Structure 1
Amino acid sequence: MLGLLLGPWSLDAHAQGVPQNGWPRKPIRVVVPFPAGGGSDTVARVLLQGLSKRLGQPVYIDNKPGAATVIGTDAVVRAAPDGYTLLLSGSTSFSVNAALRKTLPYDPTRDLAPIAIVARTSLALVVGEGTPWQSLQEVIADAKTQPGRIRYGTFGPGSGPHLAGEMFAMAAGIELQDVPYRSSGQLMVALGVGEVEMGIDVAGTLAPQVRAGRMRALAILGQDHSSMLPEVRTMAEQGLGEATFEAWFGLAAPAQTPPAVLARISRAVVATMADAEVRASLRAQGMAPVAVGAEAFRKEADSEISRYRMQAHRAGITVD
């Protein structure tokens, strides 16, 4: 499967550790616009070890959370386009924010140069152990009797989990109250103490909590079952196909980064994602490793912006 995605990049994948055209000559910073411990951070830590090996320079994470990835993404957009500052983030940065927010300090299509989508995963909907619901239909039934009472945790207005929650509410014909948190850790605590009844996050992040009995997983929001929660049915299987949300993680650079530098990074990404150890490590975290090139990355993000914008309009979602 990986070979089908790589295209011509695979011909140069053996090039490792030797600077080309004078780049790179110093450490490379990869901004992750989330706190440590979330899905983007997990992908970054696995990917960056391989990139460092193949680029011959240290590649390090700079966590810049806030405003549903806007702060960290903007820092990359404003950085010098020299290949020494990159962005590793989920689709929130590349499509969701652009679809939901009235204004952004940048345009992801114009101001970011896509390099590769490197992993896909599933979001899961969970409820706290103190809640009475054993199924998604029970949640829907209660929500219909008490509109807006059930609270669900997100990473902030305009984030992927926020949109996913609103897509679920729209498909089910219910009203929910979204409550923003800064990180997966904060969301776990909030679910544990009952600040919110429901949460949406990466399945691999939630799985240990579900297995420990601290929360119950009621649905997977992706098209397929999650390897981390294989027994949990998808939204589509439960009659809510319109609530399907695909989560992925991509690597990008500031626009105007020299093509030769982007190509060098691309080759390093391809070699890294073909590494059996890297692939196994990502799978162990509930991530599906891929290497989707720049052109397909751009098309996917643009398609999502159009689709999510239409869904947000139908659901009446706007983020200032």
Structure 2
Amino acid sequence: MLRRSLLASPLALTAPALARSAWAQTYPDRPVRLVIPYPAGGSLDVVGRAVGQKFQEMTGQPLVLDNRGGASGTLAADYVAKSRPDGLTLILASAAQLSIASALQPGLPYDPRTDLVPVSLLVSTPYALFASAASGVTDLAGVLARGRARPGQVPFGSPGNGSLGHLALEMFAQATGTQWLHVPYRGAAQVMNDMAAGTVDLTFTVTASARPMVEADKVRPIALAGPERTDVLPQMPTFRELGYPQVECELWLGVMAPKGAPPAIVARLDAIFQEALRDPEARATLARSGAAITHQGPAQFARLLESDYPRWGEVIRRGNITLN
């Protein structure tokens, strides 16, 4: 009876919460692992390193980048989802591991909606439509005329089936009532090489990746799938300006933690990342990579995710897109 009385007492009930609060005040007391869901050397590494230096300055603990590629990043997401929710294992995630994966891979070993919790949205980079200089088209009107003259025959490259570039193509096709010959590759670099050679006519990719070839006059910027023009290629109009506001596709990157991570730890992490994004050196690094700082805290980030699920789910359903 005495044991039951103690367990039911207010002190007994609040003890775990007090312990978690005290733990949050000393967090982190060990290195924190940030899992990057792609092989080393990609654009996500740039973001991780940009915030990592300030993270260590603020906490005294390193932010260790752990690259775990495979299956469009879902292997890494599953690893983090099954990790201890102690704030020491995080993932730098994108729609590929969450809303897109949910619609494309119904048999995932984790539930993207519930097994990972949003911590901090860091950056976003708009995708844009580019045309090969060899194609002869220079603007959206020319692209649409070419597509309508040869429906289903104009080659349109992407980094692979179900990639964000592929989904941007399908979103574009659905918005304009056009059909294209989708040519999937095994990465964006191969697409851009064939764009320069004139093997494929069109692609969607991030502006920073295409800028060197734009400057070399091997590819031409057509339209930006973002809400406003970008400083990377300021001459390129947005789809919104050209009458197609529904064509909007951005690569966003945000930090997520395993389900069950204490709210105090999540809040502490968000504050650290928000401060890291204010650092002038980090901002300069991200600007050079073409990424726009778009910080959102856990609640705002959660709302973004909730809008992403139906949006990409509908594009995938209407386009009958599969990974095969």
The match for 1:137 is 141
**Superposition RMSD in Å:** 2.4
Residue 200, structure 1, aligned to residue 204, structure 2 = yes
Q: Which residue matches 1:165?
A: 169
Partner of residue 240, structure 2: 236
Matching residue of 1:16: none
Pair 179,89 (structure 1): closer, same or farther in 2 beyond 3 Å: farther
| Greater C-alpha Rg | 2
The amino acid that maps onto 1:123 is: Y
Residue 215 of structure 2 corresponds to which residue in structure 1? 211
The alpha-carbon distance between structure 1 residues 181 and 268, as it changes in their structure 2 partners (threshold 3 A), is farther
Could you say which structure has the greater relative contact order, defined with CA pairs below 8 angstroms and 6 or more residues apart? 1
Q: 1:189 aligns with which of 181, 189, 193?
A: 193
Cα distance in 1 for partners of 2:32, 2:199 equals 39
Q: 2:35·2:90 contact (CA, 8 Å) conserved in 1?
A: yes
**Kept after mapping to 1: 8 A contact 2:36/2:91:** yes
Residue 149 of structure 1 deviates from its aligned partner by 2.3
Identity %, equivalent residues? 34
Of 80, 87, 100, the residue aligned with 1:83 is 87
**TM-score normalised according to structure 2 size:** 0.83
Matched, 1:114 2:118: yes
Tell me if structure 1 keeps the 8 A contact 2:99–2:313. Answer: no
* Structure 2 runs not aligned, ≥5 long: 1-22
What is the CA-CA distance between 1:122 and the residue it aligns to? Answer: 1.3
SS of residue paired to 1:306: helix
C-alpha contact (below 8 Å) 1:39/1:205 kept by paired residues: no
Matched, 1:303 2:319: no
Contact 2:162 2:321 in 1 (8 A): no
How far has the Cα of 1:190 moved from its partner? 3.3
2:281 is matched with which residue?
277
Answering whether residue 299 of structure 2 is matched by residue 314 of structure 1, we say no
CA contact (8 A) 2:171 2:315 kept: yes
- Rate the CA distance shift 1:267–1:229 in 2: closer, same or farther, 3 A: same
- Check 1:21–1:49 CA distance in 2 against 1; reply closer, same or farther (3 A cut): same
Equivalents in 1 of 2:176, 2:297: separation in Å? 36
**What's 1:96 paired with?**
100
8 Å CA contact 2:196, 2:213 repeated in 1: no
Report the equivalent of 2:290: 286
Given the alignment, which residue of 25, 48, 51 partners 1:47? Answer: 51
Query: Are 1:37 and 1:184, in contact at CA under 8 Å, matched by a contact in 2?
Result: no
Maintained 8 Å contact 1:68/1:155: no
- Could you say which residue in structure 1 is the equivalent of 2:265? 261
Asked whether 1:155 is paired with 2:159, we answer yes
Q: Is the 8 A contact 1:79 1:85 kept in 2?
A: yes
Structure 1 residues 203, 80: CA separation in 2 closer, same or farther (over 3 Å shift)? same
Secondary structure of 2:222's aligned partner = strand
Q: Distance in 1 between matches of 2:209 and 2:93?
A: 16
CA contact (8 A) 2:167 2:315 kept: no
User: What number of residue pairs does the alignment pair up?
Assistant: 302
Q: Which moved more, 1:101-110 or 1:213-222?
A: 101-110
SS in 2 for 1:126: strand
Range with greater deviation from structure 2 (188-197 or 132-141): 188-197
Whole-angstrom CA distance in 2 between matches of 1:144 and 1:249: 35
> Is this contact kept in 2: 1:91–1:250, CA < 8 A?
no
Q: How does 1:4-43 map to 2 (within 5 A)?
A: 20-43=24-47
Tell me the CA shift for residue 57 of structure 1: 1.6
Matched, 1:64 2:68: yes
**CA 1:294–1:167 in structure 2 vs 1: closer, same or farther (change >3 Å)?**
same
Q: Partners in 1 of 2:291 and 2:247 — Cα distance?
A: 20
Whether contact under 8 Å (1:125, 1:218) holds in the other structure is: yes
TM-aligned CA distance change 1:199 to 1:35, over 3 Å: farther
For residues 109-151 of structure 1, give each alpha carbon's deviation from its aligned partner in whole angstroms, at most 9, with x where no partner exists. 2011110111122111112333222222222222223232233
> Quick one: distance in 2 between partners of 1:278 and 1:119?
12
Q: Distance in 2 between matches of 1:80 and 1:223?
A: 38
TM-score (norm. length: structure 1): 0.84
SS at structure 2 position matched to 1:218:
strand
